[in-house]
Amino acid sequence: MARGGRGRRLGLALGLLLALALAPRALLAKPTVRKERVVRPDSELGERPPEDNQSFQYDHEAFLGKEDSKTFDQLTPDESKERLGKIVDRIDNDGDGFVTTEELKTWIKRVQKRYIFDNVAKVWKDYDRDKDDKISWEEYKQATYGYYLGNPAEFQDSSDHHTFRKMLPRDERRFKAADLNGDLTATREEFTAFLHPEEFEHMKEIVVLETLEDIDKNGDGFVDQDEYIADMFSHEENGPEPDWVLSEREQFNEFRDLNKDGKLDKDEIRHWILPQDYDHAQAEARHLVYESDKNKDEKLTKEEILENWNMFVGSQATNYGEDLTKNHDEL
């Protein structure tokens, strides 16, 4: 769910800037371009771009993750194939010499969730102030909202006052939902659920509720079509709506508003933003097997994978070819 920072008045105190820098989610802003609300379980994977049919960038990022795929792009072809061989051994969980679609799917899901744990590791020390390897609600509140709570008079006339008053109880509600044992202290797993609720089943209701609160501007507990569109698109005065906005209005009427009452309730919002009908990791695993399975036995040997290595990983050679294409397009 895309978010942006609100404008800050001149001379805003350094303490507030630090608090905003530490906040796990940037503060809400009105979007001016289309915004994607749908939450994918493999949220870094997303849809395969139509223009990616002729390159393997999507495959590389799905198989390795974005950061590691960049690392492979700096290797020679021989180095890439050597490292790929070691990865194949790790994917083959049962050690039978074959990589199945299910084993590939498990690997891809693990890779795509790795960025979440990396994100938590990067911010952990900013919140764990007493270094006990746990983060209490009080620690989080002071790190994020401490300056605001200690200096409320400075914010009486600023837009940040309204934002902080809204976000503080919202964060507390989310923190308590992530805190499974109710001790107001988060383990790494619980804090990960707090920062990334879309990845945890017990946090899905919070995701739905926060989405409703973000979009429901008239406070009636529902999302009507105009609110649905306003969340994605900021309409310029007297300007025409783009074709995609008209398409979204049709989507709202035909597929979002399931009971045809002209508005979305919580169940319909859940159906919209938490779809259960498509597994991107499964689709990518099937794609990789289909493209590399020479003998069509629906599983891959290490030899089949290494023979089609440039679909799984990049190298200086493949990256050079992509750079040539990009540079040519930019000329």
Q: What digits encode the pLDDT tens for the residues 117-157?
A: 888 999 999 999 999 999 999 999 999 999 999 988 888 77
Residue 174 has pLDDT above 80, yes or no: yes
- Residue 95 makes CB contacts below 8 A (sequence gap 6+) with none
pLDDT of residue 36: 63
> Average pLDDT for residues 299-305, to the nearest whole number?
97
- Percent of the chain residues topping a pLDDT of 90: 57
Residue 277 has pLDDT above 50, yes or no: yes
Q: Which tens digit of pLDDT belongs to each residue from 213-239?
A: 999 999 999 999 999 999 998 876 667
Residue 39 has pLDDT above 70, yes or no: no
CA-CA-CA-CA dihedral for 189, 195, 201, 205, to nearest 10: 140
Please report which confidence band the pLDDT of residue 322 belongs to, taking 50, 70 and 90 as the band edges: very low
Residue 297 has pLDDT above 80, yes or no: yes
Please report which confidence band the pLDDT of residue 11 belongs to, taking 50, 70 and 90 as the band edges: very low
Residue 40 has pLDDT above 60, yes or no: no
Q: In angstroms, rounded to a whole number, what is the distance separating the alpha carbons of residues 64 and 112?
A: 8
pLDDT of residue 131: 95
* Greater model confidence, 187 or 46: 187
Please report which confidence band the pLDDT of residue 94 belongs to, taking 50, 70 and 90 as the band edges: very high
Residue 196 has pLDDT above 80, yes or no: yes
Residue 3 has pLDDT above 50, yes or no: no
pLDDT of residue 216: 97
User: Which stretch, 11-25, 66-80, 128-142, has highest mean pLDDT?
Assistant: 128-142
Residue 34 has pLDDT above 90, yes or no: no
Please report which confidence band the pLDDT of residue 19 belongs to, taking 50, 70 and 90 as the band edges: very low
User: Which stretch, 56-70, 98-112, 233-247, has highest mean pLDDT?
Assistant: 98-112
Q: Which tens digit of pLDDT belongs to each residue from 202-218?
A: 999 999 999 999 999 99
Q: How many CB atoms lie within 10 A of CB 306?
A: 17
- Percent of the chain residues topping a pLDDT of 70: 78
8-22, 213-227, 297-311: range with lowest mean pLDDT: 8-22
pLDDT of residue 165: 86
- Residue 100 makes CB contacts below 8 A (sequence gap 6+) with 289, 298, 299, 300
Please report which confidence band the pLDDT of residue 254 belongs to, taking 50, 70 and 90 as the band edges: very high
For the chain, give the mean pLDDT: 82
Residue 1 has pLDDT above 70, yes or no: no
51-65, 174-188, 241-255: range with lowest mean pLDDT: 51-65
